Amino acid sequence: MPLVRGTVHRLLSRTEEKQAMSIHIGVAGWSIPSALADRFPASGTHLERYGARFSAVEINSSFYRPHRRTTYERWAASVPPGFRFSVKLPKAITHERRFVDCQALLDRFAGETDGLGSKRGPVLVQLPPSFAYPGDSAERFLSDLKTTVTDDIVLEPRHASWFRPDVEHMLERQKVARVAADPARPLPAAQPGGWHRRAYFRLHGSPVMYESAYRQDAIAAHAGVVATLAMQGIDVWTIYDNTVYGAATQNAFELMDVLARQGV
């Protein structure tokens, strides 16, 4: 699993740490495995029940198809005030047009996801493994995305050309955090990067992606990373995507349990 980057920012007092901590733990999607149903309220929609236990969710269906603004509004009304949705940018933008001539698509996405209101968290921009860093057009696109949709952006590149110092500086300048992924492809993707005020972890399961559960030692190690980052005032997201057999939900509960025992 990804480990915390080496850079340590200024130390905070214990009071400041508690005030600054921002931790979001959730799953890619809000289905409730039958084996864990007793850990959720018995009544309500799946999202209402999910939102009673978790503070965040990642919407991946937006990658494949658009949703009406009224759908996003209904979802936002189903969860508590502090709940946040991260939303995956459509593949038409990232995989098909690859940032080129996308303004109309961005406008549509903004109009739809604005239905989440203040509960919209980061927009996840996941790139195909074949998408090499395109130079200045990447910064122009990110700037357009921030202007049209939101300032909260997390980027998941999967081509080695994105993991260079000049790209890191660009992401920092644009205040775009780079996702830390497990399994990491390429290897530098194991570490969060870009804008240092947010860390966004996408954990897909290991050794078998989307299927394998993380062991307790891996959960404990990641809890230490989350606590360390949060105490530095960094906004920390952990999304489990090992959903095929329900391991994601179990691991999310386990991470919350470990952090609670640590008093975080």
CB 226 within 8 A of CB 264: yes
CA angle 120, 195, 260 (to 5 degrees): 65
Work out whether strand 84-88 and strand 198-203 pair parallel, antiparallel, or are unpaired.
Answer: unpaired
Half-sphere CA count of 21, side-chain side, radius 13 A: 16
Q: Is 200 helix (H, G, I), strand (E, B) or coil?
A: strand
Query: Scanning the structure block, which residue is given the tokens 């395109």?
Result: 134
Q: Is 122 helix (H, G, I), strand (E, B) or coil?
A: strand
Condensed to tens digits (0 to 9), the pLDDT of residues 178-235 reads 999 999 989 999 999 999 999 999 999 989 999 999 999 999 999 999 999 999 999 9
Condensed to tens digits (0 to 9), the pLDDT of residues 17-34 reads 433 469 999 999 999 999
Q: Domain map of the chain by residue range?
A: 23-262
pLDDT for 5 equals 39
Architecture of the 23-262 domain: Alpha-Beta Barrel (3.20)
CA distance 230 to 222: 12
Q: Is 13 a residue whose pLDDT tops 70?
A: no
Q: What is the pTM of this model?
A: 0.91
Q: How many CB atoms lie within 10 A of CB 97?
A: 14
pLDDT for 223 equals 98
